[in-house]
Structures are given as structure tokens and as C-alpha cells.
Amino acid sequence: MTTDQRPDHPQGSGSAYASDPGVQLMLAWQGGDEEAFERLVEEYSPRVYALLTRFVGRRSVREDMVQEVFLRVVRSRDRYQPTARFSTWLYRIAFNLSVNETQRGAGNKTLSLDVPFAADEGEHGSLGDLQESEVEDPSAALERDDVVLAVRAAIAALPEKQRMALILAKYHDYPYVEIADVLGSSEKAIKSLIHRARESLRETLSPFLQRGEVA
């Protein structure tokens, strides 16, 4: 089907997800509105970039991967049906692509949590939310760098599904049911994955926990 022959009523327009802004844009594009795709890229590419940053971390491949994610969206244009929020569907594509990338780059993983290493921008590792905090003393900031490196390495060492489940829950505020959709799993399995991920982090980071450097 050519662009000029798109259906007047895109498939799935009566879906329960039809009110989702991303779904609306995707269906509009499927129906022939070319500007809708530009808006999709503008709105969702930063989200995909952030997700990939936290999952694969290699700055040299993230932009290419974002482009590949949206190339796959293009290829799905005619057969797309809104069976989930658009971001959930998009993150599923990004996850599958990320797994392939990390498998190709095994042994050369560098996970980034979008936390700078500069000594004047102190960081604080946390198992609860891994949020940043201010550190005024440069020497204390250097010590914090060790904590951040340890937290990053611990998360990078998690199995792929555990890592993605944890990232989606903590950084993207995704409910378990939607994480399950992204990972092709069940809500119960996702709860177990996240629990195991947190337990693994606590075990790996126990020296920092004992010193009170990671909460």
C-alpha cells in the first residue's frame, strides 16, 4: 500500500489505548498524516535515548540505536495495532534491540545512569532510588565517584531482564503490568525480577551499605 492509499480508518482506532497521545499520532501517521511521524520522533526519541543510555550506556552506539528503533517503527507502519501504550510498544522494540547490542558487545559494557563523574558534581549511590545529592567537599566527591562506579557496575552486571525491569520501574515510573508487556512476561514475574535485582544489588554493594554510603 502506498502512502496515498492509506486506509481512511486506521486499524485499531477503537482500541482501549486510542486515547494515548502516542497511539493517536501513530494511527494518524498510519492514516497518511506524515507530520504525525515527525511529532512522534520529536516526542519519543528523547525517551528512547534515555532508556538506552541507562541500559547499554555506550555513547557511541546510542544515537544509532535510536535511529534503528524508529526505522523499525517505519517498517511497522501498515501492520501497527495499538495493543498497548505507544511508549510501551516502543520500549519493547528498544529492549529487543538492546539485547542484541549487548550480546554483540559482551565484555565491553559500560552502563551509564546519566550521572556525571565530575568531582564538582557530587553523586550518591542508592538502592532505593539512586538519586543524586550535593557534595561540597572535592575529596568527598572523589570518594563518591567510587560509589557511583560500584553502583553502575552492579547494575550493568544484572541479567538483561532484571536490569530493564529495574530501570523502567525506577527511572520511567512504569507499573509492573506494563513492564511485563515490554519484556514479554507476566506481572508476577516482573515483581520477582525486580526483587531479585534489588537483592543482587544489596549483595554486590554490601561494603558500601555497611559504611552507609549506599542507602
- What pLDDT was estimated at residue 56? 84
Which single residue is written with the C-alpha cell 568531582? 119
Helix, strand, coil distribution of the chain in percent, nearest 5: 60, 0, 40
pTM of the model: 0.74
- What pLDDT was estimated at residue 143? 54
- What pLDDT was estimated at residue 5? 46
- What pLDDT was estimated at residue 112? 40
- What pLDDT was estimated at residue 127? 47
Could you tell me where the DSSP H helices lie in the chain?
21-30, 34-55, 59-75, 86-104, 138-156, 160-171, 176-183, 187-204, 206-210
C-alpha cell at 188: 508476577
- The domains of the chain, with CATH numbers, are 12-108 (1.10.1740.10), 113-215 (1.10.10.10)
- pLDDT by residue for the chain (215 residues), tens only, comes to 444 444 444 444 446 888 999 999 999 999 999 999 999 999 999 999 999 988 887 667 889 999 999 999 999 999 999 999 999 999 999 999 998 877 776 544 444 444 332 223 333 444 444 433 333 444 444 456 777 788 888 888 999 999 999 999 988 999 999 999 999 999 999 999 999 999 999 898 887 766 665 55
- What pLDDT was estimated at residue 93? 97
C-beta of residue 165 within 8 angstroms of C-beta of residue 197: yes
